[in-house]
Amino acid sequence: MTLSPPRPATPALDEPRSTGSRVELRGIVKEFTGGARALDGIDLVIEPGELVALLGPSGCGKTTALRVLAGLESATDGTVLIDGSDVSGLPARSRDIGMVFQSYSLFPHMTALANVEFGLRMRRVPADERRLRAGDALEMVGLGGFGGRYAHELSGGQQQRVALARALVTEPRVLLLDEPLSALDARVRVQLRDEIRRIQQEFGITTVFVTHDQEEALAAADRVAVMRSGQIEQIGAPDEIYSRAATPFVAEFVGSSNRMRGSVSGGTVQLGTVRLPLIDATQPDGEVVAFVRPEDIRLSRASDCASGTASAGVVPAEVVSTSFLGSYRRTTVALEDGTVLTVQHPANLVPVADERVVLEFDGAPVAVSRWE
């Protein structure tokens, strides 16, 4: 980005920096009138410059957690710390936090430039500097020539870019993104997601990104916190969350999983003729449901298999249906005991309904839960 002429004593928006703050949520509880508990003792530490995604289904409390952090909701109990200072009692306007909302939240009666200038105006930045910095921020999000436009003259993606510029121009300590991409179409969503990540890394700004879209969370975040019923079920790096789900809920919510009945003994689980390692090897022995990823099962035609019949680690099955999904294919198969599984395999293998196939398990560790 080409910058405007030098300005007095204000850092350029495109200079790489590390201004991130450390954010801590300690035992946050939020109860709404009527006793509904949206947050049930959330503990979360976000390191400076880190992007953490809060991922979960609707009603799990992720947006409430973000709003408590922003100061738009007060916590019933617990403490919010930014760089070690308790900000729990501070109103939203004093927390120095930038926020992008799910619905386009541009002020309709202001131009894009005036929208971006608003936060600076609240901080009594002189008019010349304000215009310069707002212009830079718009350029940063690729909307340098759109400053004179009103919200209704911008597309959804452009409006969210302006909202992002508006949130960043004040150089906040923390950036909060409340499902900023959910109202956009798929192509723009991916484009803007990557752009958010680029800007976040360039600024080194501590960011919390709320989403119910696992792909968004896994692609953009340094760490993902999976939430359920007001609690964090698991927090970890995206590949850890995906491949080493700590709970059945995480295994089912992140990605897709096949549920297979089996029995645990000695830190492994027996699923029919197949024995697989456990993610949590301390599981007590007994009947369980195991969660096996579709991509951890290999599918081949029965005719291509050496024996063509059941043997250790190989399970015969019959094709129920198959779906083409671009670079890969998902096929639903039925085992001889009636268990229905979904298998992911290369698109060039095209099984047909009722065809005999064999399945081989990769041996990836699986999550299990007690059989109820």
Binding site for another protein (CB under 8 A): 1-2, 70-72, 91-94, 97-99, 101, 103, 105, 107-109, 118-119, 122-123, 139-146, 148-150, 152-153, 155-158, 161, 163, 166-167, 170, 176, 188, 191, 195, 198
Q: What residues does 75 pair with on adjacent strands?
A: none
Residue 94 — φ and ψ, nearest 5°?
-105, 5
Torsion angle, alpha carbons of 358, 240, 329, 190, to 10: 180
Shortest Cβ distance from residue 58 to another protein (Å)? 18
Shortest Cβ distance from residue 64 to another protein (Å)? 13
CA 72, CA 3: separation in Å to the nearest integer?
Answer: 35
Shortest Cβ distance from residue 116 to another protein (Å)? 10
Shortest Cβ distance from residue 293 to another protein (Å)? 34
Beta-carbon contacts of 281 under 8 Å, excluding residues fewer than 6 positions away, are: 267
Q: Which is nearer to another protein, 157 or 262 (CB)?
A: 157
Q: Which is nearer to another protein, 78 or 156 (CB)?
A: 156
Residue 54 — φ and ψ, nearest 5°?
-95, 115
Q: Which is nearer to another protein, 124 or 306 (CB)?
A: 124
Q: Which is nearer to another protein, 140 or 264 (CB)?
A: 140
Q: Which is nearer to another protein, 95 or 223 (CB)?
A: 95
Q: What element of type H or E holds 59?
A: none
Cα 263 to its chain centre, rounded Å, is 32
CA 277, CA 283: separation in Å to the nearest integer?
Answer: 11
Q: Which is nearer to another protein, 4 or 307 (CB)?
A: 4
Q: How far is CA 15 from CA 125, 140, 162, 201, 354, in A?
A: 20, 11, 19, 11, 60
Q: Which is nearer to another protein, 123 or 370 (CB)?
A: 123
Shortest Cβ distance from residue 130 to another protein (Å)? 13
* Residue 45 structure tokens: 């530490």
Q: Fill in the amino acid letter for 94.
A: S
Shortest Cβ distance from residue 59 to another protein (Å)? 19
Which residue, among 183, 191, 243, 248, has the nearest Cα to 218 in the 3D structure?
243
Shortest Cβ distance from residue 203 to another protein (Å)? 15
Contact 51, 207 (CB under 8 A): yes
* Residue 57 structure tokens: 């289904």
DSSP state of 283: P
- Residue tagged 């005036």 (tokens): 114
15's torsion region: left (phi>0), alpha (psi -120 to 50) or beta?
beta
Q: Which is nearer to another protein, 4 or 273 (CB)?
A: 4
Shortest Cβ distance from residue 14 to another protein (Å)? 10
